[in-house]
């Protein structure tokens, strides 16, 4: 029988190997923050690295590019090397640069090469809209009608994707595949290894949007042979709003000129020759475009230090324990209130958050926030609850369920309009 006592949650916290990392973060006062899969919290280390970058600018001015503790000219490469273990990649395959969508545009411009009847891009109906917008615009730039040339695999249940359905959609007309590593709504982890293997059997380049998986689950992109990947750094990586994103390009694709070239696509030793013929970098740096956004990259230095110390395997273990505990309490304490757990139960398929559905989801989220719990609403009726391994506790999970139970019993949510705010 499920142990529903708070003392049990406290005992789990006492056994937590990652408990000390909670002290590294600025925790909102009198608040249980469960929206780290949208925006991670600020850590003291990240704050210090921002201050260090400002000091470097203050004291070195233009010489900051090559001097100081973190020379700016090589910062993207350093951050790429620090990020590589989180996705199972080699340092030269990873670069911190651009934004999620800019990196997808770069990757598509570089790897989508329609020829003959191979003209179609394969995606899915559950992906985040920005990826689909980018893919449609790339098709239009090449003169193709997105309605015909963007194939989106449908979900049978509205929450998850079938590996078999995706594989069956890999036809001899498919030229390029982009899929999420973890679905942003339901948190389903896709079988990236199998999908890559099947795509390569058909000679189709394939890659993944890792926005909801990096920092949450382990990956082995190089071992699996994934062609490319891209991600943001402000969710589980806790690098701050608008922080610089990342991209991965498998080593077999290095030493090629990128589809979208820019000054920072250059080999480092050639960049300041100012030649009008690009000599691309021999690593993933070739897929950079413009000057690094240094103040927006600096927080990653602090955040990634913590990931190095904690280890992604331990983070994943605790994350699964937190979400499992959440689901058990939901089923024990919230029976009869109309909630449906819509995320995968299987640990191999479950990402870093719990996804509930309820007809009054928008107003329930407002009521939770009023009572000090920060959830995430997803239209039309989804509630995402993300207990982050580095700073959330089992006790917070227990307290959230008690608050939610009170909200439902007393019908406090009825005081709110069942519509999302400007930002959800």
* 130 annotated ligand binder: yes
* 299 annotated ligand binder: no
DSSP state of 242: T
Proportion of the chain in helix, strand, coil states, percent, rounded to 5:
45, 15, 40
CA distance 233 to 153: 27
Compute the CA torsion angle 6, 7, 10, 16 (nearest 10 deg).
Answer: -120
* 212 annotated ligand binder: yes
Catalytic position from the list 21, 112, 185, 209: 209
CA distance 63 to 56: 9
Catalytic position from the list 45, 136, 185, 235: 235
Catalytic site includes residue 191:
no
Catalytic site includes residue 13:
no
Peptide bond into 187 cis (omega under 30): no
| Alpha helices for 218-360 (secondary structure H) | 221-224, 294-310, 312-333
* 65 annotated ligand binder: no
* 256 annotated ligand binder: no
Nearest partner of 33 among 424, 401, 311, 393, judged by Cα? 393
Burial of residue 420, with CB atoms counted within 10 A of its CB: 0-12 exposed, 13-18 middle, 19 or more buried: middle
Catalytic site includes residue 235:
yes
* DSSP letters spanning 377-396: EETTTEEEEB--TTT--HHH
* 159 annotated ligand binder: no
* 234 annotated ligand binder: yes
Decide the pairing of beta strands 373-374 and 32-33: parallel
Catalytic site includes residue 25:
no
| Alpha helices for 17-74 (secondary structure H) | 44-60
Catalytic site includes residue 376:
no
* 291 annotated ligand binder: yes
* 335 annotated ligand binder: no
Catalytic position from the list 136, 185, 366, 384: 384
Q: Which residues are annotated binding-site positions for pyridoxal 5'-phosphate?
A: 100-101, 128-131, 209, 212, 234, 263, 291
Q: Which residues are annotated binding-site positions?
A: 100-101, 128-131, 209, 212, 234, 263, 291
* Residues taking part in catalysis: 128, 209, 234-235, 384
């Amino acid at each position: 029988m499920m142990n529903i006592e708070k003392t049990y949650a406290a005992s789990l916290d006492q056994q937590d190997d990652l408990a000390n990392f909670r002290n590294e973060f600025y925790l909102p006062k009198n608040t249980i923050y469960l929206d780290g899969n949208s925006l991670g919290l600020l850590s003291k280390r990240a704050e210090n690295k921002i201050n260090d970058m400002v000091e470097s600018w203050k004291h070195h001015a233009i010489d900051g590019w090559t001097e100081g503790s973190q020379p700016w000219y090589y910062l993207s490469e350093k951050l790429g090397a620090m990020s590589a273990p989180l996705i199972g990649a080699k340092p030269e395959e990873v670069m911190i640069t651009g934004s999620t969508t800019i990196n997808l545009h770069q990757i598509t411009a570089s790897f989508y090469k329609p020829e003959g009847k191979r003209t179609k891009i394969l995606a899915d109906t559950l992906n985040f809209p920005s990826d689909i917008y980018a893919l449609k615009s790339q098709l239009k730039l090449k003169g193709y009608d997105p309605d015909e040339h963007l194939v989106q695999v449908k979900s049978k249940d509205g929450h998850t994707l079938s590996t078999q359905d995706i594989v069956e959609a890999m036809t001899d007309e498919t030229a390029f595949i982009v899929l999420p590593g973890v679905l942003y709504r339901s948190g389903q982890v896709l079988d990236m290894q199998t999908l890559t293997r099947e795509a390569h059997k058909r000679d189709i380049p394939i890659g993944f949007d890792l926005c909801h998986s990096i920092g949450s689950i382990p990956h082995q992109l190089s071992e699996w042979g994934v062609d490319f990947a891209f991600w943001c750094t402000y969710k589980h990586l806790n690098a701050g709003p608008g922080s610089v994103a990342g991209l991965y390009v498998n080593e077999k694709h290095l030493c090629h000129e990128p589809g979208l070239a820019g000054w920072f696509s250059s080999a480092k030793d050639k960049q300041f020759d100012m030649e009008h013929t690009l000599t691309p970098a021999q690593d993933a740096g070739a897929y950079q475009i413009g000057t690094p956004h240094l103040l927006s990259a600096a927080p990653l230095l602090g955040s990634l230090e913590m990931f190095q110390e904690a280890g992604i395997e331990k983070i994943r273990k605790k994350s699964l324990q937190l979400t499992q505990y959440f689901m058990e309490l939901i089923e024990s304490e919230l029976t009869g209130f109309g909630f449906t757990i819509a995320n995968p139960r299987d640990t191999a398929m479950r990402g870093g958050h719990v996804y509930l559905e309820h007809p009054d989801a928008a107003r329930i989220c407002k009521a939770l926030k009023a009572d000090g719990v920060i959830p995430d609403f997803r239209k039309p009726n989804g509630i995402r609850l993300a207990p982050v391994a580095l700073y959330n506790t089992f006790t917070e999970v227990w307290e959230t369920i008690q608050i939610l139970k009170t909200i439902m019993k007393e019908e406090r949510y009825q005081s709110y309009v069942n519509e999302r705010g400007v930002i959800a």
